[in-house]
Structure 1
């Protein structure tokens, strides 16, 4: 079997893998359920969107400095969506179990420790609007007309997740607008870098390496951790599923449908801004930063430089826990950022810890959202999207073993103070308080929905929207 070279496949990788489109300040997400009997109309609508030129590739992202991208779209499908459109996986190469069962299933609820689910939507039957069959993500310039046309209500039942227009703004000392989530913290930091995806000679990469110094390599992760068909951190080719009738590029990965795709773990997380502001008023800014594990401006709590300086994403991510703060006196061991990315703190030494952590990284592509409700205050939150090639080893491992593990880092009866389980009176300990005092917290977030989606390569996307159009759904070939 011929192993693909990433640089030769950039035209077939959706642009969402290569960037979060941080220069496009407006975003919107659609969760689409195909109505019974409307499968062919849905294919036609999706085909028009897929061929509109809006679904950019990783190659387009590379060229964006010279040819700025002003609007972009990504399209992904749940397992129930692929089934609804009449596709069947092959017996030899089926989709992995988490994707097939769906995040909304009872089994995944148990594994993810979602004890108090009251979801509005999911990727399986039982939600108010039926299972979400497709996810459409769109980005555009501020004030521009949204790139995705209005959804045909006769064809789709839809849920729209709107952009928070205040998510990008300048903080004190910022030279440019930065993304901030609803609690006021700078967001989008600590992103892994996919080895070989960025232009090695680019000015942006040179600046990132300069800002992070010797710690830059801590962020660099093998492409197979996020893109199917490439070598991962184990040195193995990431497994590619296949669909019946697929006749794609037979020269790579046995010609399987999954090449250049990725799995998306998606959760709509509502943030209780009022409760957080009340906590901040009672305890102070410093305690809030301890919960998150960062300063509001994105700097690590171990920052030794100018406290008012504006720092780049790469510079803000250049730190380690074991070396800088082994006992958690600066950043508590149970803080949010320490749980989702333990860096060098969990292995027997720095090298083994970083190597282990690279097996469980996520590429985040979500955005803050704003929900306007009649006669109520607006509700804010994060529409969380994580790209990963192995849902069990990456998203589910992090969620189960780190975020919601009550004994993480030798703690006892504690989980993530920000996105932990929904029960009240959560505990959070801060080293250095008298007698090791613990804080008691109310839940600050609530998950409103979630699902697993497959982000196909561009050839595979075209196959989905074109293959079987006008034919009986039980005969996709």
Structure 2
């Protein structure tokens, strides 16, 4: 099915959550289910199909609530997917996130031994994200999904996490999030950064050429793999009070405190990027979708505006690595969806109140190892690529409390010492979100 730019992206067969932005603000619920009977599991898939929208639609005020359905490797096994098909999935997906925790930096408090059950266990088979701009429609969708799971034995709802996005778009750390998404060729979704051309569709959706010009490895048979995408799901607890105290203790004023926070993140709390507003926050730029992502790092190679080690610059270096040509940043882009859970810590509070709060991150892409795992291990947990091997991402890096963060400055740079961990992994899963035809194929499997 051809689109305006000549890319034959089959939007009618792709789950809408892979390509379309979520409504803003929104409320949502994540559900995890276990399949104890494969026949019941296939009936579940058939009952969920009417709830899943394709990427063909254009979400409007009355049509912007949706359900995304994905499966773990253990879930596909529980449905009775043939062995040769199971073996055709990416090795990382087959192993699961918990088995790869040490490589990802999920150690210590973040190790699977401390994860919230049942995350990381073989009981997690089906993952559902249900999102809506208002609570009434959300309740209706959640009820329909629960009925689909509960109307016969053999299916168990084993975990539920409510989530939300505030009207400000800010997370528990106080920063506006979800700004720098890549545009996907053929999706019909416009680019948020006019300085970057859209990614080839095969970087996100299986069955299409990627940035190398090749087709990425795809699960077999074709009806199962084509138009699907791998999904990374992570629940992250944020230590907001510790983050605030760390900044307060190292700043001489509230203004300096805000600046240090912006230097660590790469943006001001409003969403205004340091590259465009290096000295002070500019809420007008932060709120303007036409400007808040319209920048590169060409004129800031040394990081005097935005430090090379800042979170946003590590996660997406844009053109900062073009000079040495050793890394093609476009091979490591992915769709990123972040949503908050738990009550926000009131402004000004510096002591932990014991309440669980944080971010549920969802990443979508065609290659787990080249995208999510590469960014997590090489760019967030390491500093070699920015010339600082001892440094990690100051906000989400796998910190043990001894890390540093360098802020370039004339005449003397500033170095923050003894960075404690501000984010703790509560659990996660590697999932696969099939296309709509693949969902029907799964529902009609015969043993």
TM above 0.5, yes or no, is yes
CA shift, 1:91, in A, is: 6.7
Correspondences of 1:348-427 after superposition (within 5 Å): 348=323, 352=325, 356-370=328-342, 377-427=354-404
Query: Of the candidates 262, 274, 279, which is equivalent to residue 289 of structure 1?
Result: 262
- Corresponding residue for residue 332 of structure 1: 307
- Corresponding residue for residue 114 of structure 1: 106
Does structure 1 retain, via aligned residues, the 8 Å contact 2:404–2:416?
yes
Per-residue CA deviations over 1:169-196 (Å, capped at 9, x if unaligned) read: 2xxxxxxxx3111111001011000011
| Residues 92 and 426 of structure 1, relative CA distance in 2, 3 Å threshold | closer
| Residues 367 and 6 of structure 1, relative CA distance in 2, 3 Å threshold | farther
Per-residue CA deviations over 1:345-399 (Å, capped at 9, x if unaligned) read: 12326xx58x811110010123112279xxx753211111100101111111111
Does structure 2 retain, via aligned residues, the 8 Å contact 1:76–1:136?
yes
Does structure 2 retain, via aligned residues, the 8 Å contact 1:182–1:380?
yes
| Residues 111 and 329 of structure 1, relative CA distance in 2, 3 Å threshold | same
Asked whether 1:59 is paired with 2:59, we answer no
Does structure 2 retain, via aligned residues, the 8 Å contact 1:42–1:156?
no
Cα separation, 2, equivalents of 1:78 and 1:304: 42
More divergent stretch after superposition (73-82 vs 112-121):
112-121
Q: Which runs of 5+ in 1 are unaligned?
A: 170-177, 200-204, 244-254, 469-474
Correspondences of 1:68-217 after superposition (within 5 Å): 68-90=62-84, 94-105=88-99, 108-116=100-108, 117=111, 118-121=114-117, 127=121, 130-144=122-136, 145-146=138-139, 147-149=141-143, 150=146, 152=150, 155-164=155-164, 167-169=165-167, 178-198=168-188, 205=190, 212=193, 216-217=194-195
| Residues 196 and 154 of structure 1, relative CA distance in 2, 3 Å threshold | closer
CA shift, 1:219, in A, is: 5.0
Does structure 2 retain, via aligned residues, the 8 Å contact 1:121–1:131?
no
Cα separation, 2, equivalents of 1:224 and 1:89: 25
Query: Of the candidates 430, 435, 442, which is equivalent to residue 452 of structure 1?
Result: 430
Per-residue CA deviations over 1:42-93 (Å, capped at 9, x if unaligned) read: 3323321222xx2110101x3x24x741421010001110001111242797
| Residues 93 and 6 of structure 1, relative CA distance in 2, 3 Å threshold | farther
What secondary structure is seen at the aligned counterpart in 2 of 1:148? helix
What secondary structure is seen at the aligned counterpart in 2 of 1:57? coil
CA shift, 1:6, in A, is: 4.9
- Corresponding residue for residue 43 of structure 2: 44
CA shift, 1:327, in A, is: 0.9
More divergent stretch after superposition (262-271 vs 5-14):
5-14
Does structure 2 retain, via aligned residues, the 8 Å contact 1:77–1:135?
yes
Cα separation, 1, equivalents of 2:86 and 2:132: 41
Query: Of the candidates 265, 274, 277, which is equivalent to residue 232 of structure 2?
Result: 265
Cα separation, 1, equivalents of 2:135 and 2:157: 26
More divergent stretch after superposition (334-343 vs 15-24):
15-24
Per-residue CA deviations over 1:318-343 (Å, capped at 9, x if unaligned) read: 1122x231111221121111111111
Asked whether 1:277 is paired with 2:244, we answer yes
What secondary structure is seen at the aligned counterpart in 2 of 1:191? coil
What secondary structure is seen at the aligned counterpart in 2 of 1:90? helix
Per-residue CA deviations over 1:424-452 (Å, capped at 9, x if unaligned) read: 23211212284643332211010010111
Structural RMSD (CA): 2.6
What secondary structure is seen at the aligned counterpart in 1 of 2:357? strand
Does structure 1 retain, via aligned residues, the 8 Å contact 2:93–2:431?
yes
What secondary structure is seen at the aligned counterpart in 2 of 1:368? strand
CA shift, 1:400, in A, is: 1.0
Cα separation, 2, equivalents of 1:450 and 1:91: 24
Does structure 2 retain, via aligned residues, the 8 Å contact 1:123–1:133?
no
More divergent stretch after superposition (283-292 vs 139-148):
139-148
- Corresponding residue for residue 442 of structure 2: 464
More divergent stretch after superposition (399-408 vs 188-197):
399-408
CA shift, 1:304, in A, is: 4.8
Asked whether 1:13 is paired with 2:14, we answer yes
State the TM-score, normalizing by the size of structure 1. 0.80
Cα separation, 2, equivalents of 1:122 and 1:238: 31
- Corresponding residue for residue 254 of structure 2: none
Does structure 2 retain, via aligned residues, the 8 Å contact 1:122–1:450?
no
Does structure 2 retain, via aligned residues, the 8 Å contact 1:111–1:400?
yes
Cα separation, 2, equivalents of 1:160 and 1:419: 24
Cα separation, 1, equivalents of 2:275 and 2:157: 48
